[in-house]
Structure 1
Amino acid sequence: MNEARLFVRYAAASIRAQAQYPASTAMLAIGQCLATGVEVVGIW
């Protein structure tokens, strides 16, 4: 159970950190979507 609480605390800290830099979070999300799209095209 302690592992689950620790995970939740780490996840909350990550979300708080990402909320401080919304442009960075958006760029990471866009980059991930583009990378996934390139992989799909490569497989197709």
Structure 2
Amino acid sequence: MRSSLSEADRHEGLHALGMAVNNARFSRIVFGTDHVTAENQS
């Protein structure tokens, strides 16, 4: 059971990460901001 739970959590994490990346790209396209890349570099 524990392994399946961790697998589900990993899938959730990957999905959340993908959503965050998509949101970052979307905000950059819409608002023309580069604050996301600036945060990643710091």
TM range (shorter): 0.5 to 0.7
Runs of 4+ in 1 over 3 A off after TM superposition: none
In the superposition, the TM-score normalised over structure 1's length comes to 0.54
* Number of corresponding residues: 25
Q: CA RMSD in A?
A: 0.6
Q: Which has the higher contact order (CA 8 A, sep 6+)?
A: 2
Give the gaps of 5 or more residues in structure 2.
30-42
Q: TM-score, normalised by structure 2?
A: 0.57
Unmatched runs of 5 consecutive residues or more in structure 1: 1-19
